Amino acid sequence: MAERSTPNSGRKAVVLLSGGLDSATTLYAAHRQGYVPHCLIFRYGQRHQKETRQAVAVARTAGCGYQILKIILPWQGSSLLNKKSPLPRREKIDLQEIPSTYVPGRNIIFLSFAVSYAEAIGASAVFIGANAIDYSGYPDCRPEFFQSFQETLRRGTKAGVNGKAIKILTPLVNLTKAQIIRLGMKLGVPYELTWSCYQGGRKPCGTCDSCVLRKKGFAAVGMADPAG
C-alpha cells in the first residue's frame, strides 16, 4: 500500500467507514496522519448491504480492525431506508434543497456511537469522511455542524470535562471530489473496492446523487472509475 506511515506511539482513532469513496480516503488519511484506525461500520437498514461488504473489504485491505454495528431506525424518513420511496434523479444538485436521501440525524447518531467507542478504547479522535463542497446538501455534513458537535463533546463527555475531548476530524470537508480522488491516489486507496451508489446492483446506477458526484470527480482528474 502506497505511502503508509508508521503510527506515532499507537494513537488510536475511530474511523466511520461506509464503503464509499470518501470514507475509504478518510481511513487512509487517518493512517497517514499516524493513527491506528479502528473502523466502525453501520448497518442501519439502508436499501442494500453491498456498501457494508465493500467497507469490510476496504478495512481488510488497509490492515485495519473493524466492527459492524447494526442499529434500527424504525421510523425511516428517508428514501435510503424505504425501498418503496423513489430515489431522486437530479441532473444538477441544488445545495439549497435537502434531498429525500437525507437520513434524519444520521451523523449525529453515527458520531455519538463513534465517540462512545472512542472513549471506551482510549482513542483520541474520530474521523468522518464528510464533505461540504461536492455533496448532496445534507446539513449534517457542513463544517458548522462539526464545530457544534465538538463543543458538545467538550461539555458532555468524561474526556471533554477532563480537558481531553475526543477530536472530530473531517479531512475532506473542504475538498472537491477531484481533490479527494487525487489525495486518495497518492495514499493508495483501493477505489476499485469502494461502492458509492445508493442502489445495490451489480453495477452503479449512474444517476443517483452519489453516482453523479463520483462520476464528476473521476472525470475531473481524467481517469476512469476503477469500480466501473
CA nearest neighbour of 138 among 111, 100, 110: 100
Let me know if residue 28 belongs to a domain. yes
Chain centroid to CA 67: 15
Let me know if residue 91 belongs to a domain. yes
Let me know if residue 165 belongs to a domain. yes
Would you place residue 2 in the very low, low, confident or very high pLDDT band (cuts 50, 70, 90)? Answer: very low
Query: What's the CA gap between 175 and 153, in Å, rounded?
Result: 25
CATH for 165 = 3.40.50.620
- Per-residue pLDDT for 100 more than 60? yes
Which is higher by pLDDT, 5 or 153?
Answer: 153
Let me know if residue 6 belongs to a domain. no
Total-model pTM? 0.93
Triad 119, 125, 38: Cα angle to 5° = 80
Let me know if residue 3 belongs to a domain. no
| Partners of residue 41 on adjacent β-strands | 68
Cell numbers 464503503 correspond to 19
Q: CB under 8 Å to 74, separation ≥6 — which residues?
A: none
Per residue in 109-130, pLDDT (tens digit) is: 999 999 999 999 999 999 999 9
Let me know if residue 118 belongs to a domain. yes
Would you place residue 6 in the very low, low, confident or very high pLDDT band (cuts 50, 70, 90)? Answer: very low
Let me know if residue 226 belongs to a domain. no
Task: Look at the chain and report how many structural domains it folds into.
Answer: 1
Would you place residue 90 in the very low, low, confident or very high pLDDT band (cuts 50, 70, 90)? Answer: confident
Query: What's the CA gap between 46 and 31, in Å, rounded?
Result: 28
Backbone angles phi, psi at 15, to 5 degrees: -120, 120
Would you place residue 176 in the very low, low, confident or very high pLDDT band (cuts 50, 70, 90)? Answer: very high
Domain limits for position 150? 11-220
Chain centroid to CA 57: 15
What's the chain's average pLDDT? 92
Say if CB 86 and CB 54 are below 8 A apart.
no
Query: What's the CA gap between 145 and 140, in Å, rounded?
Result: 6
**Complete DSSP assignment for 45-94:** S-S-SHHHHHHHHHHHHHT-EEEEEE---TT--STTT-TTSPPP--SS--
Let me know if residue 228 belongs to a domain. no
DSSP 122: T
Would you place residue 28 in the very low, low, confident or very high pLDDT band (cuts 50, 70, 90)? Answer: very high
Averaged pLDDT, 1-17: 64
| Percent of the chain topping pLDDT 90 | 85
CA nearest neighbour of 181 among 29, 5, 18, 66: 29
